């Protein structure tokens, strides 16, 4: 058992994700920036967050909003300067808030100096990437890209380069020791500046074992050659022993397509790889293999998935939203009559599960999916590429429109609604992406003033979690899940809590355990012991 002095700082942390482009604009150019983040640090402090995961702010041409980095040691001028970044780190530190940077090392931008030199024929830099001759009339292999289409693009000189994402994001060759030196140097650069760790983008696919053809699949042909490879585990272990362990870091991996077994290997404390991982199974609860094709969401399935991951991992990274997913009230809750209740329920659930909870900007006020008028309002490169792919497959416009609008990542990328003014308090200029008209009633200003708002529920729930040993470090046990109701306990040495989550819009009869309702989104239900109201969340204390 770790004593309080050796205990890792992040074990009981609540982490808030900022997507800088959409958070707060300080200079009226319509793009969120570092100055905007600094201006909201007190807001975050007041909310109770311990750390910020900052989506990329590095230099970038912005084809994938910063997930295409052209200089890892500089800041995108849209977001500010290196001085602004240093100011953010030190101001946050003064408030006791840590900064976790996003680290995108599967690929760089095609504008990165390394790739430019490679294209110009410099052999040193060609070996930083995967350049290969085509086979017959086509690409070197049959791999598919995450964003639809092929994973190879032909260069002017006739050969091809590999990109698992867009053609603007060439994959780095992790077989090359120079790449290792460059990237670990970049990690040290930021850790020396005082950042507290990294969220490692698609970290479990960086090491390609071979470039052979993959088994033909409906999506992501080729993945067996790069998913969770032995070489990837070895690389992460080296990052850990040679760099991360020298600082008090928190490293969370974005690990795509992981199973609980893969995740255990990647985040087992004894293996010294990652501290925690993001899994995706619950995000895909309503998808038919490919996220663009949806099926009906069933709460009992969500419960089964969450329970499985709670059992499998000691410290899962828990989340219901991020910049790649639709808003959680649309996904798992209700945007009509039960908007407020369901947003509070999701808050309660996220913050009661075992692990490290992540809150995504705007989630704390119950922001909803975008109200785009059509495909023309969408900016995301993934949506653009999928639209092209669907066109090639002869999908008609109305179908493409429907499928893309309901799932586009831009649903989570509309500006944070700070107030009900025209620019939503986000900008005084023309926003880079459409602001949701529901800013009129979903906004920080109004919710701050309302004691019963979603925002204040978040504050209370974070505070509750902070003061509860059972929630912070207790064990987890599922009690039952009758009729789409999730009931589990969190228990520490001298505290046992029963957590009740009604994940439906109907009243549900439940068996009642414990003695005393101590927290919930229906404060008046104290006496209704055997029923849960629609989307009711309650915490019940019990004597041990
Ligand atoms: O968006 C997705 C599912 O909804 C994923 O396929 C996503 O592309 C995948 O999780 C990887 O995401 C990360 O890397 C991408 C970047 O576009 C995402 O924003 C980032 O979170 C490439 O760097
Ligand atoms: Ca700006």
CA separation (Å) from 529 to 98, 285, 499, 510? Answer: 41, 31, 13, 8
25 CA → ligand 2 middle, Å: 4
pLDDT digits (tens, 9 = 90+) for 32-53: 999 999 999 999 999 999 999 9
Asked if pLDDT for residue 250 goes beyond 90, the answer is yes
Q: Tell me which residue has tokens 């390609």.
A: 208
Whether pTM exceeds 0.85: yes
Torsion from C-alpha of 324, 68, 187, 49, nearest 10 degrees: -30
Ligand in closest contact with the CA of 24:
2
Q: What is the DSSP string of 219-255?
A: S-TTGGGTTT-HHHHHHHHHHHHHTGGGTT-EEEEE-
pLDDT digits (tens, 9 = 90+) for 71-126: 999 999 999 999 999 999 999 999 999 999 999 999 999 999 999 999 999 999 99
Give the pLDDT score at 352. Answer: 98
Residues at CB less than 6 angstroms from ligand 1? 64, 67, 104, 146, 165, 201-202, 254, 256, 291, 323-325, 409
33 CA → ligand 2 middle, Å: 5
Confidence of residue 525 (pLDDT cuts 50, 70, 90): confident
> What would the mean pLDDT of 495-511 be, rounded to a whole number?
95
15 CA → ligand 2 middle, Å: 24
- Lowest-confidence range among 5-19, 248-262, 290-304? 5-19
Ligand in closest contact with the CA of 147:
1
Confidence of residue 191 (pLDDT cuts 50, 70, 90): very high
**Percent over 70 (pLDDT), the chain:** 99
CATH architecture of 4-108+177-370+437-461: Alpha-Beta Barrel (3.20)
> What would the mean pLDDT of 265-285 be, rounded to a whole number?
97
Q: Where are the beta strands (DSSP E) in 67-186?
A: 71-75, 98-103, 131-132, 152-154, 160-162
Residues of the chain with CATH 2.60.40.1180: 475-542
Q: Six-digit token pair at 537?
A: 């969340």
Handedness of CA 62, 66, 72, 75 (dihedral sign): positive
Catalytic option among 254, 340, 364, 491: 254
Give the pLDDT score at 6. Answer: 63
Q: How far apart are CA 8 and CA 450, in angstroms?
A: 35
Contact 57, 79 (CB under 8 A): yes
Average pLDDT, the chain: 96
Catalytic option among 25, 201, 380, 536: 201
Residue 177 half-sphere exposure toward CB, CA atoms < 13 A: 0
Q: Tell me which residue has tokens 């920080």.
A: 444
Give the pLDDT score at 1. Answer: 44
pLDDT digits (tens, 9 = 90+) for 380-427: 999 999 999 999 999 999 999 999 999 999 999 999 999 999 999 999
Q: Which fold has domain 475-542?
A: Immunoglobulin-like (2.60.40)
Give the pLDDT score at 527. Answer: 67
Please give the DSSP secondary-structure letter assigned to residue 124: H
Catalytic residue status for 363? no
| Residue (of 173, 169, 176, 174) closest to 153 by Cα position | 169
Catalytic residue status for 201? yes
Residues of the chain with CATH 3.20.20.80: 4-108+177-370+437-461
């Amino acid at each position: 058992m770790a004593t309080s002095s050796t205990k890792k700082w992040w074990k009981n942390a609540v982490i808030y994700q900022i997507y800088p482009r959409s958070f707060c604009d300080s200079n009226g150019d319509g793009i969120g920036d570092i100055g905007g983040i600094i201006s909201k640090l007190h807001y975050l402090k007041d909310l109770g967050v311990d750390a910020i995961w900052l989506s990329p702010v590095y230099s970038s041409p912005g084809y994938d909003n910063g997930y295409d980095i052209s200089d890892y040691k500089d800041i995108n001028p849209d977001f500010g300067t290196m001085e602004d970044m240093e100011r953010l780190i030190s101001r946050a530190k003064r408030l006791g808030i840590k900064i976790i940077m996003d680290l995108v090392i599967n690929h760089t931008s095609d504008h990165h100096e390394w790739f430019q030199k490679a294209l110009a024929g410099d052999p040193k830099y060609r070996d930083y990437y995967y350049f290969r001759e085509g086979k017959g009339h086509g690409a070197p292999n049959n791999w598919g890209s995450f964003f639809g289409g092929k994973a190879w693009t032909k260069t002017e000189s006739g050969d091809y380069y590999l990109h698992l994402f867009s053609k603007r994001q060439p994959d780095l060759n992790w077989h090359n020791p120079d790449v290792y030196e460059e990237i670990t140097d970049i990690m040290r650069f930021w850790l020396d500046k005082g950042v507290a760790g990294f969220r490692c983008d698609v970290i479990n696919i960086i090491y390609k074992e071979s470039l052979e053809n993959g088994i033909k699949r409906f999506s992501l042909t080729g993945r067996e050659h790069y998913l969770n490879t032995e070489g990837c585990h070895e690389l992460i272990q080296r990052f850990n022993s040679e760099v991360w362990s020298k600082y008090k870091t928190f490293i969370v991996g974005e690990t795509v397509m992981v199973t609980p077994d893969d995740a255990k290997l990647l985040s087992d404390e004894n293996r010294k790889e990652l501290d925690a991982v993001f899994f995706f199974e619950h995000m895909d609860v309503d998808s038919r293999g490919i996220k663009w094709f949806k099926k009906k969401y069933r709460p009992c399935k969500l419960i089964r998935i969450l329970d499985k991951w709670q059992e499998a991992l000691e410290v899962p990274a828990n989340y219901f939203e991020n910049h790649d997913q639709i808003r959680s009230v649309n996904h798992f809750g209700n945007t009509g009559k039960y908007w407020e209740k369901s947003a509070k329920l999701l808050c309660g659930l996220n913050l009661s599960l075992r692990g490290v909870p992540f809150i995504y900007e705007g989630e704390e006020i119950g922001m909803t999916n975008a109200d785009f008028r059509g495909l023309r309002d969408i900016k995301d490169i993934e949506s653009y590429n999928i639209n092209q792919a669907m066109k090639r497959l002869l999908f008609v416009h109305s179908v493409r429109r429907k499928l893309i609008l309901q799932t586009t990542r831009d649903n989570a990328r509309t500006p944070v609604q700070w107030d009900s003014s025209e620019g939503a308090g986000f900008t005084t200029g023309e926003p880079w992406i459409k602001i949701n008209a529901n800013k009129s009633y979903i906004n920080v200003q109004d919710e701050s003033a309302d004691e019963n708002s979603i925002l204040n529920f978040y504050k209370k729930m974070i505070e509750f979690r902070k003061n509860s040993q059972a929630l912070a470090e207790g064990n987890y046990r599922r009690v039952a899940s009758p009729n789409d109701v999730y009931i589990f306990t969190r228990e520490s040495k001298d505290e046992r809590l029963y957590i009740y989550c009604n994940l439906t819009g109907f009243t549900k009869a439940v068996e009642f355990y414990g003695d005393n309702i101590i927290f919930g989104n229906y404060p008046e239900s104290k006496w209704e012991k055997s029923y849960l109201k629609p989307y009711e969340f309650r915490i019940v204390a019990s004597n041990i």
